[in-house]
Structures are given as C-alpha cells and as structure tokens.
Chain A
Amino acid sequence: MATSDSPNIKKLQVRRYPPEENPKKTYLTEERGLWAWMTTVDHKKIGWLYLSSIAFFFFVAGVLALLLRTELLTPSQSFITADTYNQLFTLHGAIMVFFFLVPSVPAALGNFILPLQLGCKDVAFPRVNLLSFYIYVAGAIIVLTAIFTGGVDTGWTFYTPYSSSAAGGNIMMMTFGVFVLGFSSILTGLNFIVTIHRMRSPGLTWNKLPLFLWGLYATSVIQILATPVLAITLLLLTMERLLGIGIFDPAIGGDPVLYQHFFWFYSHPAVYIMIVPGFGIISEIITTFSRKHIFGYWAIALSSLAIAFIGFLVWGHHMFVAGQSSLANMVFSFLTFLVGIPTGIKIFNWVATMYKGSIDLKTPMLYAMSFLFLFMIGGFTGIMLGALSVDIHLHDTYYVVAHFHYVMMGGMVFAFLGGLHYWWPKMTGKMYNEFWAKISLLILFIGFNLTFLPQFVMGSLGMPRRYFNYLEQFQGYHQLSTWGAYLLGVGFVIMAVYLFHSMRNGKQAKANPWGSRSLEWQASSPPPLHNFEHHTPVIIHGSYDYHKPMSEFQLGIPTSHNGHGEEETVTPEPGPAEEADK
C-alpha cells in the first residue's frame, strides 16, 4: 500500500462502509423461482445447489452405513446376504468419497464464501461454475443408474483384477460416472485459482488472504493436478473391460499392482482435497471466536501448500504389503512422516491462537475444538500406520477403517459442520437454535467416538476390514460400534430438524453476528445479489486484525482515484472517515 513517501501513489479517501441490517433485497429475494435457480450463475445459489446435493448424498450413504452396522450386530448373517453387504459397503464408500467429501467444502461452502472473502461479485467464470455443477449432477445420475441396474461390489477402490474380471455388477457405468464427476472437480479448482489470482479486492494482498482461501487454493491445485490421473485410470480400466487390452488384468498380460499405483496416485492427494479446505475453516472459526489474530499466519498458509505438495509423493503407503520393493516402501514411509509435520504445525498454531484470546464457546467454536481432538487421534494413528513394521500388522484391518473415519469424519465432516454453522447466518440470514445445536454436537461427538474407538481395538486385535462374517471374539466391539452409529444418526436427525426450522422460523441474523473481522461478514446477511452493494470494497485491515476494537475496524469504499468505477463524489461521513494508508 501507498505510504506518504512514495509520491507516485495517490492517497485514497475511503469511508467506513457498514453493512445494511435486515436487507430488503438479497440474493434470495432476487431471481426467484425454480428456473432461475436452475440456471443461476450466482456463486451463492450454486453453492446452495451443491449443498443440497451433497446433503442428499450424505443422507443416502449415511443410511447405507447404518444398514452395514446393523448387519454387523451378529457374527454371521443378520438380515442381508454377503453380496448385498459387499454392494452396500462399496456404495457407502464411493458415494461418501466422490459425492460428499470431495465436493463438500470447496464446491458448497467454498463457492458461497470465496467471492465474499475476496470482495468480488462472483467467481471468475460464473458459467463454468454452473457447468461444473451440472457435470456433477450428470456423474451422479450415471452412478445412481449403475446402482439400480445391478450393484457394484468391488469396494470404493475398484481394485483389479477383481474389478476387471470376476465381479459382476455394473462397474463399467459406475466408473464412468466417477470419471464424469472428475471434470466437475477440475473445473471448480480452475475457477477458484483464477478467481483468487485475478479478483482480489484492492488492498487484499497475498499476506492478507484469509486462510480459508489459502486452503481452497492448495486444494484447487491438487484437484487440477491429481484428478486427471483418476480419469486416465478409469479410462484404462474401461478399455480393458470393453476392448480386452491387458493393462491391469494378469489373465491378459496386465499388472494388478500397476492399477493400485494409478489409483492411489489420485486417491491419496484426494484425501488432502477433502481435508485441506477443512483446515481453512478451522482457522477462520478459531480466530473469530477467540477474537484473536491468527498465530503463525504464514506457517498455516504455507503448510497447506506443503501438505498439497508432499501429499503427491506418499501414495505408496497404501501398498506396503502389496508387493512393492523394500526401497519403495522405505521412501514412501519416510515421506509419509514428513507430511505429518506441517499438519502438526497447524494444530499447535491453532491452539496458540486461543492463548490470551476472548473465547466464546458458540457452536462453531465447539465444532472446531472437537475437530482438533478427533483429528489429532486421526493423525497419531496415521503415524502408527506409516511405521512400516506396524503397518504390516494393521494394514487392511479395522484399525485403518477407524483411522480413516477419524480423519475424514472426525476431521473433515466436523470441520464442514463447523463451517456450516459458522456461515449459516450469512447464507440464510437466519440464526439457528444454539441450544439444540450444542445438544446435537454432543450426541455426534459421543456417537462418533463410540462408533470408531472400538474399531481401533478390534483392528489391532486382528479383525480384517470388509468382512461380512466375523469371529465371535469381536462381537462386543462390533455391537458398541453399531450403537455408536445409531447415536450418530440421532445427532444428524436433530441437526436436520433445527436447521430446517431455522430456515423458516429462525431469528433474523445480524450482518456480523460473531463480530468477525473477515470480509464476508462485512456484507449484509444474507448478502445482496452482487455481494457488496456499492462498490468493490477496499481492504484496509487484515481479516484477523482483532487487536483493535470493532469501531476502529476499517473496510472502505473508495471515494476516488483507485481505479474502480467512475470518478464520483462520495461525501465522507462524519465520524470514522480515515485515510486508507496508515
């Protein structure tokens, strides 16, 4: 920014720009009707389209999980056959990963928040944004068709040669659906990168970029680089099945382990596609509810990029017992531990941010703290699985299942829910019932641990994953796990009820109910169709500047000479009118 001794840059007159409370015109009241929603290019509406779709898929895959857990109440068949069970766990995994986890934060929350945090009207390519949603829908329809025309029972990893020869079911169509879906992911990533590079408001320099956006940025890079590999893999699989070209199937001269390399080259970075934006949410929540500047801004921002980068080089840790060479195993094990370091740094930084804060334990903050606890368990057990000799014992057992769910559900889903509760007033303009939100969180927290802690124990005792029948010695653990899953179900039902209730009957939300310094809260709730009614805002303070009282917090619209809009005269208001450059 300009200072008084750099004569070439003009001083900028700004005036404080308070958001309108109880706005009459919002993005929800304009362009109404089903058709307007279906053809909207507004990033906020597209965010809602994604949010409702992923909520639907989360519900479907969640119900599948409850069916699986119910079947596992007894060691032998309870109420479904082994083939049905195998199809159900395949669907649970595939739907959760490809239709919920991957698009959840970037496409749903990210779409809504990213332009607001940048201070722009929309993403760089609004039509491409809508296109990527419809590609997602097309992928989903293809996969649903595959389900109803004969299930797929390969597991969400589609390992060859099982998936290319022996298995029945409509695996061709299923993989095609996932293939289509990948393009949606790529387009969203591209859109975000361009938007962050080109459309930041004046004053929003890289070192003021909100950490949520750093998270989305790192995620988008992975999406663009890794997703094509998945597409290539699924294409090769399809060629093998359709044309009989031996690539992965040993019966016709292929190599099944090659498939695993391809698959994990995408799917391991994909895990970071799922979790890194979650990290961003946690940074936003913890600063807002601690009213405190983030501790170690650059450490957190760069660690997201470090995770994105190293995350590309660790795929082989899924194959420690798959027949890889000892050297490869050693290298992959080593890199796996390296990726733990930036993750650990983030955790320490978040806790340090709370030091000397002004902490308000609202629902989003409680979600963030639950996230920290659960994600640490996920991380530590990841260290366990990265240790070569121990992994030999734990590989493909329930220990891995529990680890994965602690990272993905305890980590990612809790971060997502925290973000949902944090931005809910902005998205809907309504407050939810704080009491029920906390009750629901408590039930989810207990239910989650009850479901997955026993799985660590049975896993290390030797219970392999993907087992329909199991030895009686594991029954106690399985039953605990099932009761925990039912509790989780109850928690989610309560959440659905109070969120729907809030949409219809919730209290009107203030523009900035949490007293956040971040830019999206300086727009009204819900925001107008083009986000910042008057102009592109000028960013004077960073989004974590909590060391000054709110009354001094500056977010201006330009009065003149900043290159945005016509030369127009804005009468400075009496009171907090200041120069931009301090």
Chain B
Amino acid sequence: MNRLFDFMLPPEKSTTAGEVDALFHFITEVSLILLLGITAVMLYFAFKYRRKSEDETTPLITHNNTLEITWSVIPLILVLIVFSWGYQGYLAKTNPPDDAYEIRAVATSWLWQFHYQNGHVSTNELHVPANRPVRIIMSSDDVIHSFYVPDYRVKMDVLPNRYTQVWFEATEPGESVLYCAEYCGTAHSDMLADVIVHTQEDFELWLETGDAIDEDLSPAELGEQLVQRQGCMACHSTDGTVLQGPSFLGAFGRDRELTDGTTVTIDENYIRQSLLEPNTQVAAGFQPIMPSYAASLNDRQIDAIIEYLKTLEE
C-alpha cells in the first residue's frame, strides 16, 4: 500500500516489519493532521484577532470545562490506542517462536562474530535462511553494543554481563545492513556487518562449505577479501594510518617492538600467532584488544592473509 510517509522507511524485509510500519504511518498521519490543524487555527486567530487599536479590551474568558475535558479525553484515547498497539507489536517482536533457528552472536569493539550450530564462525557476516525464524543470542566481550537491522525493524542492546536476544524472520533472500547502534568508541561507526539471507538449501550449503566458494582466487586476492570481510580494517589500515592497531602497510619483514620490551620480526609465524592468539605478542603502544580468529579462519585462509600482507609494500 502506498502511504504518504513511505519515503521515511526502509524496505520491509522481515515478517514483523509491516506491523511496525503500520503504527509508524498511523502516528505520523494523525500527528500531521493535528499539527496542521492546530497551526492553522493559531495562524487564523493571529490574523483574525490582530490588534486594530491600542486601547482594545478583550473579553474575559477564563475557562470552559466542556472544551477542556474534550481536548484532554480525545488525546488520551488516541495515546491509549497507540500504547496498546505498540505494546502488542512489541510482544510479537520480543517473543521468538519455539522452532527458531539459533545463532550465537558475540560483539567486540568493533566487529561482530556469529557462531552457528555446527561450529562454523563468520565475522561481520550474518548468514540466515529465508522464511524461517532466527533467534540470535547475543553477548559482548567488552562494552555495550547494539544489534540493529533497519530492514527488519529489530534492535537490541548487546551487554557484557548477560545474554540478550533478538529474533526475526527474513522474507526473501538478499542482503541487509547490520549496524551497531550503541556508541562504543572510536570505530563505532565502522562496526557494520552484512546480513546475508539465503534460501534454505543455499543456507545449508553455506553451513557445510563455508567460504569454499573462494577456490578460484589467488592466495593474495583471497587474503585481501578476508581482511576486508573479517573486520580487520576497523583497526588496521592498509595505507599507513595508525588506528587502534598498527597499519599493515610495509609491516611484513620489519622488526616490531612489543609491549614487554622484546622485539620480533614480523614473519609468517608472527602473523599466524597474532591471528590465533592475538594478545600474547602485542605491539608497543597498542592495547591488547584484538579478538582471536582461531574459530573463524582455517589454515588456507591464514596463508592467504599472510600472502596478502606480503604484497603491501611501502
């Protein structure tokens, strides 16, 4: 249905989005009518009763009970409608169906990791099946983050000391953006992920094979893709800029001073170690905040990243 304020909302891509949008339209349209009505009356009075002489006196009108009760009760009824409508929608959005497919999400400054039931892990990519309720059980490794997918009209804070959950059912295969909506520091605005919706068969295929579709890439090309997809770029630049972590540019083969005062050469083993147990050898001047990639990268992918870093010469 085409409505006046459709331009204000992103496409509806979940089963509960329509419910939210209906209420959004209702409030916006009623508000617009009231806003224009009251403003028109105000402007009409300002014109009709403009001052014509300095000595005018005005009638004494102190109050009018009927009128005042009317304009208290009508808004009260309106907001009660909005309240119950909103609460109803809220219940639907917060109570996942029993048969929902469960995915575990871990938020870390500043990336998202998703653990699937077969042990597969993806970073900054959330793969879900279409037309099946998905329940995400979330926690944070550090500060508060918030899981927000505008296309699904879902949002839930991700807390460090407890689990929170969110559920949705995507209606069609495609991609949507997942934002972190709770301010979490320097790279808060880069803490995005892709939600990739597969058909049920494709989803199962993806779960089996993971990123095997990358077979035909050269190791360096695959490495470049992985560095971008796995959220590395939130903290490590490839152009020499120092972010939360050291830049990759020209790093390979160089000596690096560590926080414990020792020096290592950045070679294949150092990179491997940094991916799997990142906080054992932290470069001097940086915080030990990098999450481990042990669960999300296989050997071939680690090799590819090493090959890619070798290409980043100054």
Interface residues, chain A, with chain B CB atoms under 8 Å away: 82-83, 86, 153-155, 159, 161-162, 165-167, 250-251, 255-257, 290-293, 295-299, 321-323, 326, 329-330, 333-334, 337-338, 340-341, 344-345, 347-349, 351-352, 354-361, 369, 372-373, 376-377, 380-381, 383-384, 386-393, 395-397, 456-457, 460-462, 464-471, 515, 546-549
Shortest Cβ distance from A324 into chain B, in angstroms? 10
A-B contacts, 29 listed (Cβ < 8 Å):
A162-B184, A165-B143, A256-B144, A291-B58, A293-B58, A295-B64, A322-B144, A323-B156, A337-B80, A341-B72, A344-B71, A345-B68, A357-B58, A359-B45, A383-B79, A383-B82, A386-B79, A387-B85, A390-B89, A393-B150, A457-B7, A460-B8, A461-B8, A462-B148, A465-B181, A468-B188, A546-B58, A548-B57, A549-B57
Partner of A390, one of B54, B76, B86, B162: B86
Report the Cα distance A376→B35, complex, angstroms: 7
Interface assignment of B213: CB less than 8 Å from any CB of chain A: no
**Are A396 and B46 in contact (CB-based, < 8 A)?**
no
Report the Cα distance A295→B45, complex, angstroms: 14
Central interface residue in B27, B50, B61, B159, by most chain A CB within 10 Å: B61
Shortest Cβ distance from B8 into chain A, in angstroms? 4
**Are A337 and B79 in contact (CB-based, < 8 A)?**
yes
**Are B71 and A345 in contact (CB-based, < 8 A)?**
yes
**Are A359 and B68 in contact (CB-based, < 8 A)?**
no
**Are A341 and B79 in contact (CB-based, < 8 A)?**
yes
Shortest Cβ distance from B221 into chain A, in angstroms? 24
Q: Specify which chain B residues have a CB less than 8 angstroms from the CB of A465 in the assembled complex.
A: 181, 183
Main secondary structure of the interface of A (DSSP, over half): helix
**Are A392 and B154 in contact (CB-based, < 8 A)?**
yes
**Are A323 and B162 in contact (CB-based, < 8 A)?**
yes
Q: Specify which chain A residues have a CB less than 8 angstroms from the CB of B88 in the assembled complex.
A: 389
Partner of B143, one of A161, A290, A355: A161
Interface assignment of B190: CB less than 8 Å from any CB of chain A: yes
**Are B61 and A295 in contact (CB-based, < 8 A)?**
yes
Report the Cα distance A291→B45, complex, angstroms: 13
Report the Cα distance A278→B80, complex, angstroms: 27
Interface assignment of B312: CB less than 8 Å from any CB of chain A: no
**Are B182 and A396 in contact (CB-based, < 8 A)?**
yes
Segment from B16-24, B250-258, B299-307 that makes contact with A: B16-24
**Are A351 and B41 in contact (CB-based, < 8 A)?**
yes
Partner of B180, one of A82, A392, A464: A464
Interface assignment of B4: CB less than 8 Å from any CB of chain A: no
**Are B87 and A376 in contact (CB-based, < 8 A)?**
no
Report the Cα distance A329→B83, complex, angstroms: 11
**Are A297 and B94 in contact (CB-based, < 8 A)?**
no
Partner of B63, one of A255, A299, A546: A299
User: A357-B45, A384-B24, A387-B86 known; A397 and B35 CB under 8 Å?
Assistant: no
Report the Cα distance A377→B219, complex, angstroms: 56
Nearest residue, chain B, Cβ from A256:
B144
Total number of B residues with any Cβ neighbor in A under 8 Å: 86
Report the Cα distance A406→B191, complex, angstroms: 29
Shortest Cβ distance from A238 into chain B, in angstroms? 19
**Are B51 and A162 in contact (CB-based, < 8 A)?**
no
Q: Specify which chain B residues have a CB less than 8 angstroms from the CB of A251 in the assembled complex.
A: 160
Report the Cα distance A298→B52, complex, angstroms: 30
**Are A461 and B155 in contact (CB-based, < 8 A)?**
no
Q: Specify which chain B residues have a CB less than 8 angstroms from the CB of A295 in the assembled complex.
A: 61-64
Interface assignment of B270: CB less than 8 Å from any CB of chain A: no
Q: Specify which chain A residues have a CB less than 8 angstroms from the CB of B144 in the assembled complex.
A: 159, 161-162, 256, 322
Report the Cα distance A159→B181, complex, angstroms: 13
Partner of A291, one of B51, B159, B190: B51
Partner of A372, one of B42, B56, B184, B189: B42
Shortest Cβ distance from B131 into chain A, in angstroms? 21
Interface assignment of B230: CB less than 8 Å from any CB of chain A: no
Report the Cα distance A357→B44, complex, angstroms: 12
Given contacts A341-B79, A393-B155, 15 further A-B contacts (CB under 8 A): A293-B60, A295-B62, A295-B64, A348-B38, A354-B45, A357-B49, A361-B46, A380-B27, A381-B31, A390-B89, A461-B150, A466-B189, A467-B189, A547-B59, A549-B57
User: A162-B143, A461-B8, A469-B190 known; A326 and B90 CB under 8 Å?
Assistant: yes
Of all A-B residue pairs in the complex, the 10 with the closest CB atoms, nearest first, are: A462-B150, A389-B89, A387-B86, A250-B161, A388-B90, A380-B31, A467-B189, A547-B60, A337-B79, A354-B45
User: A82-B187, A86-B186, A464-B179 known; A369 and B42 CB under 8 Å?
Assistant: yes
**Are A464 and B51 in contact (CB-based, < 8 A)?**
no
**Are A397 and B181 in contact (CB-based, < 8 A)?**
yes
User: A369-B46, A389-B19, A393-B155 known; A82 and B82 CB under 8 Å?
Assistant: no
**Are B188 and A467 in contact (CB-based, < 8 A)?**
yes
User: A162-B184, A291-B51, A380-B35 known; A392 and B90 CB under 8 Å?
Assistant: yes
Interface assignment of B295: CB less than 8 Å from any CB of chain A: no
Q: Specify which chain A residues have a CB less than 8 angstroms from the CB of B28 in the assembled complex.
A: 384
Nearest residue, chain A, Cβ from B62:
A293
Interface assignment of B122: CB less than 8 Å from any CB of chain A: no
**Are B58 and A547 in contact (CB-based, < 8 A)?**
yes
**Are B185 and A299 in contact (CB-based, < 8 A)?**
no
Q: Specify which chain A residues have a CB less than 8 angstroms from the CB of B42 in the assembled complex.
A: 351, 354, 369, 372-373
**Are B91 and A333 in contact (CB-based, < 8 A)?**
no
Interface assignment of B164: CB less than 8 Å from any CB of chain A: yes
Nearest residue, chain B, Cβ from A82:
B186
Nearest residue, chain B, Cβ from A399:
B8
Report the Cα distance A295→B43, complex, angstroms: 18
Q: Specify which chain A residues have a CB less than 8 angstroms from the CB of B261 in the assembled complex.
A: none
**Are A166 and B150 in contact (CB-based, < 8 A)?**
no
Q: Specify which chain A residues have a CB less than 8 angstroms from the CB of B89 in the assembled complex.
A: 387-390
Report the Cα distance A338→B78, complex, angstroms: 11
**Are B52 and A358 in contact (CB-based, < 8 A)?**
yes
Report the Cα distance A187→B182, complex, angstroms: 35
**Are B93 and A384 in contact (CB-based, < 8 A)?**
no
User: A162-B184, A468-B189 known; A462 and B46 CB under 8 Å?
Assistant: no
Q: Specify which chain A residues have a CB less than 8 angstroms from the CB of B154 in the assembled complex.
A: 392-393
Report the Cα distance A326→B7, complex, angstroms: 31
Q: Specify which chain A residues have a CB less than 8 angstroms from the CB of B161 in the assembled complex.
A: 250, 255-256
Report the Cα distance A373→B35, complex, angstroms: 7
Interface assignment of B212: CB less than 8 Å from any CB of chain A: no
Nearest residue, chain A, Cβ from B5:
A460
Report the Cα distance A177→B289, complex, angstroms: 30
Report the Cα distance A293→B63, complex, angstroms: 10
Q: Specify which chain A residues have a CB less than 8 angstroms from the CB of B71 in the assembled complex.
A: 344-345, 348
Q: Specify which chain B residues have a CB less than 8 angstroms from the CB of A376 in the assembled complex.
A: 34-35, 38-39
User: A256-B160, A293-B58 known; A389 and B49 CB under 8 Å?
Assistant: no
Partner of A456, one of B8, B35, B190: B8
**Are B50 and A384 in contact (CB-based, < 8 A)?**
no
Interface assignment of B135: CB less than 8 Å from any CB of chain A: no
Central interface residue in A298, A457, A467, A546, by most chain B CB within 10 Å: A467
**Are B51 and A360 in contact (CB-based, < 8 A)?**
yes
Report the Cα distance A348→B41, complex, angstroms: 10
**Are A354 and B49 in contact (CB-based, < 8 A)?**
yes
Partner of A297, one of B62, B150, B156: B62
**Are B23 and A387 in contact (CB-based, < 8 A)?**
yes
Report the Cα distance A467→B58, complex, angstroms: 53
